């Protein structure tokens, strides 16, 4: 298969998600991966986030939700920020002391511009190369990993379809690599 895949193995996923926290500490890169895994946003949408999108500087608290206009679909999306996302953002915030209008995932030399997609790809690729057996991991794998594990934990297919803005469950199954998992399960359960 030549397409981007989700990270299916939980141990590899744990190592991947904490690579920039424990192995090669880098708060920005860690926050990028944690937000990518926990919000299911496309990398283009993640890179456009600014600090005021995730943090209320007036109340000095992280927001409960992100309100984002998706670049690809043009649709608004309202996404809850979970504890893991907020903890990663807190560590990052404590390290960089941002201003409201700074891009969340900014260049080291320029807070008024986000890193580009190529840099984000290199960040994800390095963590994946060091922690997973898969070479089919890219930025989009974070979105697919969210969906795959949500499905494995019992998220309803219709909910995942809506979350990803897919037109059918078949599209969602192909997107997450669920079809092959379901086929493998049948083969492995048969004991003739």
Residues marked as catalytic? 42, 72, 140, 143, 166, 175
> How far is 65 from 54, CA to CA, in rounded Å?
8
Element (H or E) spanning 79, and its range?
Answer: strand 76-80
Pick the closest to residue 41 from 69, 15, 19 (CA basis).
69
> How far is 60 from 50, CA to CA, in rounded Å?
15
DSSP assigned state of 116: P
Look at the chain and count its residues.
192
> How far is 124 from 142, CA to CA, in rounded Å?
9
Q: Are 8 and 105 in contact (CB under 8 A)?
A: no
Q: How many CB atoms lie within 10 A of CB 97?
A: 7
Q: Are 89 and 78 in contact (CB under 8 A)?
A: no
């Amino acid at each position: 298969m030549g397409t981007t895949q989700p990270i299916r193995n939980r141990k590899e996923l744990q190592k991947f998600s904490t690579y920039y926290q424990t192995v090669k500490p880098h708060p920005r890169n860690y926050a990028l991966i944690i937000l990518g895994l926990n919000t299911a946003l496309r990398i283009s949408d993640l890179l456009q986030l600014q600090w005021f999108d995730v943090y209320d500087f007036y109340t000095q608290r992280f927001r409960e939700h992100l309100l984002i206009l998706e670049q690809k679909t043009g649709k608004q999306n309202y996404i809850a920020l979970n504890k893991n996302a907020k903890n990663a953002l807190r560590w990052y915030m404590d390290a960089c002391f941002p201003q409201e209008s700074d891009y969340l995932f900014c260049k080291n030399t320029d807070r008024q511009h986000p890193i580009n997609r190529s840099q984000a790809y290199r960040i994800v690729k390095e963590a994946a190369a060091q922690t997973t057996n898969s070479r089919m991991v890219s930025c989009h794998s974070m979105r697919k990993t969210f969906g795959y594990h949500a499905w494995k934990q019992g998220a309803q297919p219709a909910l995942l379809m809506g979350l990803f803005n897919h037109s059918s469950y078949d599209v969602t199954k192909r997107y997450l690599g669920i079809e092959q998992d379901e086929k493998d399960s049948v083969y492995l359960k048969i004991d003739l």
